[in-house]
Structure 1
């Protein structure tokens, strides 16, 4: 079903409850109008290199879809399912993801400047070599995700689950963890100077990782648990 709604600036096209093909998307792009999709099916569709700036997606399925090198800046994604979708090399500057299932998605070399993920599932996602100035996550699962060399410096990190994630080379200097977990994360060359970890789960650390937290703040309870996990008995 297709509807249009008038506004002072433009006429927005609303697409509902459809299985959408690449050809249909190309036709919508040619119209030059903003488009919103609700409950639409893009599963397995090749949307690579399409220009979809300012499009909105609500409760849509992008499972195993390809958005390789697509232009997706300022897009809005609400309650979408996109596990194993490919966002490699896509431009997602200023994109917004809310309550989306993005497990095992690929974001390698994507442009994520000022992108925002809230309440999302990103287990197993690959963020290798992304451009990420201003990228923000909130209340999000990043279990086993590849986050190598991302900077979270001076950020408030609210309820981020980094369990088993690859955080090698990440910059957490002066970051404040509000809840969340670093349990069993891979932390080689990560930096935590000035970080506040008092509310985070830092269990599962290895002896060689403990030195990485020099200059960070942890609680007395965390310190005792850390010593116990390292096999050190305090008398």
Structure 2
């Protein structure tokens, strides 16, 4: 099994090139049996991609572009998703285990009730996305991702890592962020500073958080 270390955590990622593993090319991710395993899917442009009650196990999704995306109870295990544009996806009630997203766009997506365990998001765009009741029950890392005006609501991101991410006007609403690792990010324009109790930062980021709080409270500094 492959793994990547980020700060204090290690994320186990899919190893889809291991000897003896053969991925069959499929034309659709839908399965009448409810399970798709050992698959390769991609290089498609779709008007709509809707999957409900499906398990995707050990597979690669690449270069998928879809305008309308609806995922419900779509559980992933050992899956790699790369260079894909899933638009403003609606994704709910799903569990992701040993999943690696790379160079993907989920701008304006609504992620509700997702459970993350050994999940790596790398160089993905989540601008204007909403995360609600998303829970990191195992290692989870966001590396080099953009979260412009994204909103986290009632999430449990305890122990998760954000590294080298764009957090401009990203709002951290009420939730649990104990030991969430925010080192290596510009925090000066985030929102919801008061909700970030027990997070982990590095020397110098205190100034970022102070600036973010001043911005959020609309405080005017000066003699005029």
TM exceeding 0.5: yes
Of 177, 196, 203 in structure 1, the residue corresponding to residue 162 of structure 2 is 177
Shift of residue 199 of structure 1?
Answer: 2.5
Shift of residue 76 of structure 1?
Answer: 0.8
Of 218, 221, 224 in structure 2, the residue corresponding to residue 233 of structure 1 is 221
* CA–CA distance in structure 2, aligned partners of residues 54 and 201 of structure 1: 40
* CA–CA distance in structure 1, aligned partners of residues 51 and 140 of structure 2: 29
* CA–CA distance in structure 2, aligned partners of residues 146 and 176 of structure 1: 18
Runs of 4+ in 1 over 6 A off after TM superposition: none
Partner of 1:213: 196
Partner of 1:150: 134
1:126 aligns with 2:106: no
RMSD: 3.2
After TM superposition, the structure 1 stretch with the greater mean CA deviation from structure 2, 112-121 or 187-196, is 187-196
Question: CA, structure 1 residues 233+74, in 2 after alignment: closer, same or farther (shift >3 Å)?
Answer: same
Partner of 1:101: 85
After TM superposition, the structure 1 stretch with the greater mean CA deviation from structure 2, 214-223 or 160-169, is 214-223
* CA–CA distance in structure 1, aligned partners of residues 165 and 179 of structure 2: 18
SS in 2 for 1:147: strand
List per-residue Cα deviations over 1:4-43 (Å, max 9, x = no partner).
Answer: xxxx979x7xxxxxxxxxxxxxxxxxxxxx6315xx6x6x
Question: CA, structure 1 residues 179+234, in 2 after alignment: closer, same or farther (shift >3 Å)?
Answer: farther
Greater Cα radius of gyration, structure 1 or 2: 1
Question: CA, structure 1 residues 186+75, in 2 after alignment: closer, same or farther (shift >3 Å)?
Answer: same
Q: Structure 2 length as normaliser, TM-score? A: 0.71
Alignment map for 1:79-118 (pairs within 5 Å): 79-118=63-102
Q: Which has the higher contact order (CA 8 A, sep 6+)?
A: 2
List per-residue Cα deviations over 1:46-91 (Å, max 9, x = no partner).
Answer: 9364543222013123431222223322221112213322222223
Segments of structure 2 that go 5 or more residues without pairing to the other structure are: 1-18
Shift of residue 97 of structure 1?
Answer: 0.2
Q: Structure 1 length as normaliser, TM-score? A: 0.68
Question: CA, structure 1 residues 154+222, in 2 after alignment: closer, same or farther (shift >3 Å)?
Answer: farther
Structure with greater strand percent = 2
Conserved 8 A contact 1:51-1:71: yes
Partner of 2:24: 35
Question: CA, structure 1 residues 193+233, in 2 after alignment: closer, same or farther (shift >3 Å)?
Answer: farther
Partner of 1:140: 124
Alignment map for 1:55-94 (pairs within 5 Å): 55-94=39-78
Instruction: State how many pairs are aligned.
Output: 198
